[in-house]
Chains A and B, each alone.
Chain A
């Protein structure tokens, strides 16, 4: 559980919108020349058929481009204008190149981030220890040996002191240190790392700021967290996700269907030619005209227009961009599959502390006992908390100052004061000052302290606060109970609204907390989660997760401790906090570099956005076919059958310009959609029915209409330029 977060308020930040969060990635404009120029070169290199064959749709397009290129030399023989064949061939090559360019752009953006990371990793040397195994006593300087970082292997020990760069991933086995992890998190605030417990992991490439630690290496060179991160961002090890595989199958099937459609069209044309005789009332040149109009070039053009090149060309770019968007939110997805699963998640297990509430309870109100001045109570409460370094204690000091202008005195100002620390036995803390014994603590402890029952009003307030989920602290001075401090969990801003939107999307939120059921229920209500698990242990969390999964749900959770590891591994999406243990990071399929558990919500949104983008472009691509049919089929037939002219509903100028327009539209739509593919469609938290209706109108109906307009415009342009 997130015990660490309770202790370490630095890691808990307000719910940050992505724009505010510091990110590893430099935000780049979409067509940053640093990425665009190499991408152009890359897209040429990707023409290699060995590479192309992995994408059947674009491979068929490339074969079509080759065939039409060959046809250029036979244009004269086949009675076709050379310029027409030339332009078709050219645009088919462009279609392939544009698709390659989209992929190269997506990869390029990842590579640029990876390079930035690599640069930050200067060649380091390691202070390796000669001895291995368990440490026996103090390590002496003569045991150290300076070696290159690459030579460290799993199990080796090394020492780091202030200003040393940690040479490899490892686990602290001795000492504690503050570490600057900005190299991976982009966050400059130092974090504390210490041997034992949940904060023992250090990452290669980070810098030790103070103290001295002895670290045991946990990853060989090339397998370290940083290496994996670079590999992932670069997309070097990218595998197709299950949904991409399935979509590829369907796109391939459609390609095969259209291949059959085009291949069988030739025999149909031959049959048609057989009756285009003068005796049947056709002009003498009808046969030659139909044969010319159904040339190899035209058939290839029709084929390429019909197969789903738009989605085929953008599919891998969409996937890479999805992982990339995660990185921009400082979340490392270990696979594309994890990003996809994030979209499917319908149950979120959210740890209360740090995720739903700010890390700590805070004093929000003082209730004075009858006859006691509120200011008097506030002052006593503040005095009792001066030495209390817990966040709760500090919040009491702050509240007293804010409400009553009582300046928090420094401990040194009160030399006679004897501070009484909190102990498990007394369950109180306080101060003895000028004969007054001021204490604050749980109601029953303080009752014992004052040696008698409280005023009924105090009891009522205590009861009310408890029932509302807060923690009542009674303040007493000697034998008099002065009043009650209300300590409260503060729910992060904007969460209830967010959970409401999640509910609309069919996602259930479950709060996990160690609190008692009463407290848990109150906070759950305030935060607006659907359900809660109170007095939770890691085992109970795992059980709940298993139960939800058995009911068919896909579950996402965050975790950082070693005891979270089984649940992280079991979850469909397990986001490990970067500040967590190595075990937790290994078990999850994502790591949040900011260690902000609230980001689980963004992770789900990014997953959904990826899937929506893929679906939208698939729908758009398929819907485009309608217009292309209406451009090319009439163009093929109209010379032979002038009566068919009404079928040319776009009123395209000539058969050649019609076919060319369709092919050009088919190519440039890929370029035009690259920004959408990389950025993703706009995410809206709505129910599936509303989203579907909306997207179907934009990408389905839009997909039918837009090409009609586009092809018509291109046709007008072509004729203005006399290109056909």
Chain B
């Protein structure tokens, strides 16, 4: 932990704080069907055209069921669209560069399902290598499109939820289609245009050129003098996809190495801005919350709770990565101070630890280093961040609505202590609300723990001689292998999409092992469960809250804008969410950590 790291960290926090209010105010305008923005002059006609095209009345609001159905229909149609495009990639334009590769990956039904589900749910878990699987057309139309759509859906749900809290005895929570149109037109697309141009200025490519074959600099592997070692450098429309990948907390890389690849993240500045853009909208949404519920301090209190857990995570991860592996140091073979395995020298320990924390606090999942190579505790933080439900700023929209569920649970647990039945911002929290909130939390735990349990036992028991689908995919044995499985299901259920990277989720068929779709299917299913089975109870909760009477706030109301509230919220998240995963984590990173420090066996 060095001064340069501290300075960068303070800079990052300062920048985040600075953009929260202006972007938050802008969100208030965007997420109001009647809101006026400075882009109206250019975009209002386009917005009207969209409504006319869809034949809809932008001001006709929906109740929660209609809103949910609209969201589900939209997601289903777009998911089928992407599945179809992927299956038909060979018949669509711009696939020659892939076809020329010797290691081209086939888009099987299982992989296509996994990818379509993953992108529809804002997960962007990738069971494929972008550069040898996806055509330019697939990248742009089948995948990047979802980066916009799924981000907009998340923001829309959050906006609907916040509106529900603010309304008094209301039946409706907004119009899904209007939200969708406005989020695209006024928020995502304009920012991404500017952002992509900035990224190009930093050196990210944006072209349709064929892949380039070059002579490698490192010729040590050359077999004969006449045949130099060559390397294929992939090309493509990268910048436009990276902008929304970060801003929309999608995280699906254009290339397999994601933000560690120079074409995706060329400079320290691009690295800084990319991290900042992950948190930008989620952070601004807390301001939006405060503004809409007319309690700006509450918005900041929520921001503070998120920031506290974020800072704590960065500290643990950074400290652990800086300390590195003592066993390597003892042997005198550590390449650099701290753990540098799997990290880009361009970014170093601090920026890798920070990036990993940011990307998992949010549901982004982009990585600029390989978490699989992190120290056990350094890698546990990303894992834990995801398991908390990605509510530390979180995914665009998803972070806020996930956090709101935790706020409601926290207030319900402790709220009675003020001598009133629990209420949040003037809304009584009753049996139905608890049912829906519990369901949202249950599904997260259920999907992560049960899928991991299935894969663990299929990893083979002590007596089994043949490995089954679970362990076949593992890169490491021992507790680290367990972490890889736990991480995969956490990441997919949490709609994060980052991988511990050791796991082979799309095992290639060979003569010895037939193609096994288990990982593709279970991970795909986990993304769908973690997204939609969570959103439906959350919308039901929103509908219930909207319909309630607003009780005027008084000195007897539960305080939601002071230090006590922040402490309560952080405590509840740590006790209710984090401790649930303590037994599982103790068999993964925790045991691994102690084995490493205590001269135990290594894996």
* Chain A residues in 8 Å Cβ range of B2: none
How many angstroms between the C-alpha atoms of A607 and B419 in the bound complex?
A: 8
* Chain B residues in 8 Å Cβ range of A272: 479, 482, 587, 591
How many angstroms between the C-alpha atoms of A15 and B580 in the bound complex?
A: 51
Is B462 a contact of A287 with CB atoms below 8 Å?
yes
User: How far is the CB of A600 from the nearest CB of chain B, in Å?
Assistant: 16
Is A611 a contact of B433 with CB atoms below 8 Å?
no
> Which residue in chain B gives the minimum CB-CB distance to A299?
B583
Kindly state whether residue A246 has any CB partner on chain B within 8 Å: yes
How many angstroms between the C-alpha atoms of A691 and B464 in the bound complex?
A: 59
User: Contacts A261-B583, A267-B454, A646-B594 hold; do A243 and B409 have CB atoms under 8 A apart?
Assistant: no
Count residues on chain A whose CB falls below 8 Å from chain B CBs. Answer: 85
Which residues in window 616-661 of A have CB below 8 A to B?
616, 618-619, 622-623, 625-626, 629, 633, 637, 641-647
Q: A343, A505, A506 — which one has the most chain B CB atoms within 10 A of its CB?
A: A506
For B421, give its contact among A340, A504, A553, A626 (CB under 8 Å): A340
For B416, give its contact among A503, A618, A647 (CB under 8 Å): A618
> Which residue in chain B gives the minimum CB-CB distance to A241?
B421
For B461, give its contact among A253, A274, A688, A693 (CB under 8 Å): A274
Which residues in window 291-345 of B have CB below 8 A to A?
none
Kindly state whether residue B567 has any CB partner on chain A within 8 Å: yes
Is A343 a contact of B590 with CB atoms below 8 Å?
no
Is B417 a contact of A647 with CB atoms below 8 Å?
no
How many angstroms between the C-alpha atoms of A666 and B203 in the bound complex?
A: 61
For A696, give its contact among B433, B478, B567 (CB under 8 Å): B567
**Contact pattern, B 422-445, Cβ under 8 Å of A = 1, otherwise 0:** 100010011101110111011001
How many angstroms between the C-alpha atoms of A608 and B459 in the bound complex?
A: 54
Kindly state whether residue B584 has any CB partner on chain A within 8 Å: yes
* Chain B residues in 8 Å Cβ range of A689: 555, 559, 562, 564
User: Contacts A270-B457, A552-B550, A647-B590 hold; do A246 and B559 have CB atoms under 8 A apart?
Assistant: no
**Contact pattern, B 403-422, Cβ under 8 Å of A = 1, otherwise 0:** 00000010011111111111
Kindly state whether residue A723 has any CB partner on chain B within 8 Å: no
Kindly state whether residue A580 has any CB partner on chain B within 8 Å: no
Kindly state whether residue A716 has any CB partner on chain B within 8 Å: no
Is A260 a contact of B555 with CB atoms below 8 Å?
no
Kindly state whether residue A256 has any CB partner on chain B within 8 Å: yes
* Chain A residues in 8 Å Cβ range of B459: 271, 274
**Contact pattern, B 335-364, Cβ under 8 Å of A = 1, otherwise 0:** 000000000000000000000000000000
For A505, give its contact among B409, B426, B470, B555 (CB under 8 Å): B555
> Which residue in chain A gives the minimum CB-CB distance to B552?
A552
User: Contacts A243-B421, A622-B576, A633-B583 hold; do A692 and B414 have CB atoms under 8 A apart?
Assistant: yes
For A264, give its contact among B168, B450, B601 (CB under 8 Å): B450
**Contact pattern, A 250-287, Cβ under 8 Å of B = 1, otherwise 0:** 10111011101111111111111111110011100001
How many angstroms between the C-alpha atoms of A503 and B556 in the bound complex?
A: 9
Kindly state whether residue B81 has any CB partner on chain A within 8 Å: no
User: Contacts A282-B601, A552-B549, A626-B575 hold; do A268 and B556 have CB atoms under 8 A apart?
Assistant: no
Is A633 a contact of B586 with CB atoms below 8 Å?
yes
How many angstroms between the C-alpha atoms of A271 and B477 in the bound complex?
A: 10
Kindly state whether residue A107 has any CB partner on chain B within 8 Å: no
How many angstroms between the C-alpha atoms of A677 and B556 in the bound complex?
A: 23
Kindly state whether residue B449 has any CB partner on chain A within 8 Å: yes
For B599, give its contact among A270, A503, A643 (CB under 8 Å): A643
Kindly state whether residue B453 has any CB partner on chain A within 8 Å: yes
Is B416 a contact of A611 with CB atoms below 8 Å?
yes
Is B417 a contact of A691 with CB atoms below 8 Å?
yes
**Contact pattern, B 111-133, Cβ under 8 Å of A = 1, otherwise 0:** 00000000000000000000000
* Chain A residues in 8 Å Cβ range of B562: 689
How many angstroms between the C-alpha atoms of A158 and B269 in the bound complex?
A: 95
Which residues in window 218-247 of A have CB below 8 A to B?
242-243, 245-247
Is A691 a contact of B580 with CB atoms below 8 Å?
no
* Chain B residues in 8 Å Cβ range of A282: 601
Kindly state whether residue B579 has any CB partner on chain A within 8 Å: yes
Kindly state whether residue A707 has any CB partner on chain B within 8 Å: no
How many angstroms between the C-alpha atoms of A256 and B461 in the bound complex?
A: 27
Which residues in window 538-596 of B have CB below 8 A to A?
549-552, 554-559, 562, 564-565, 567-568, 571, 575-576, 579-580, 582-584, 586-587, 590-591, 594-595
* Chain A residues in 8 Å Cβ range of B575: 622-623, 625-626
How many angstroms between the C-alpha atoms of A611 and B422 in the bound complex?
A: 9
Is A261 a contact of B580 with CB atoms below 8 Å?
yes
How many angstroms between the C-alpha atoms of A552 and B409 in the bound complex?
A: 23
**Contact pattern, A 50-92, Cβ under 8 Å of B = 1, otherwise 0:** 0000000000000000000000000000000000000000000
Kindly state whether residue A454 has any CB partner on chain B within 8 Å: no
Kindly state whether residue B65 has any CB partner on chain A within 8 Å: no
User: Contacts A267-B454, A641-B591, A644-B594 hold; do A343 and B583 have CB atoms under 8 A apart?
Assistant: no
A-B contact pairs, 10 of them (CB 8 A): A250-B413, A267-B456, A271-B481, A272-B482, A274-B459, A275-B603, A552-B551, A616-B417, A644-B598, A687-B555
Interface contacts beyond A641-B600, A643-B600: sample of 5 additional A-B pairs, CB < 8 Å, sorted by A = A246-B431, A249-B438, A260-B445, A268-B587, A609-B419
4 smallest beta-carbon distances between A and B, as pairs:
A615-B416, A506-B556, A643-B598, A608-B419
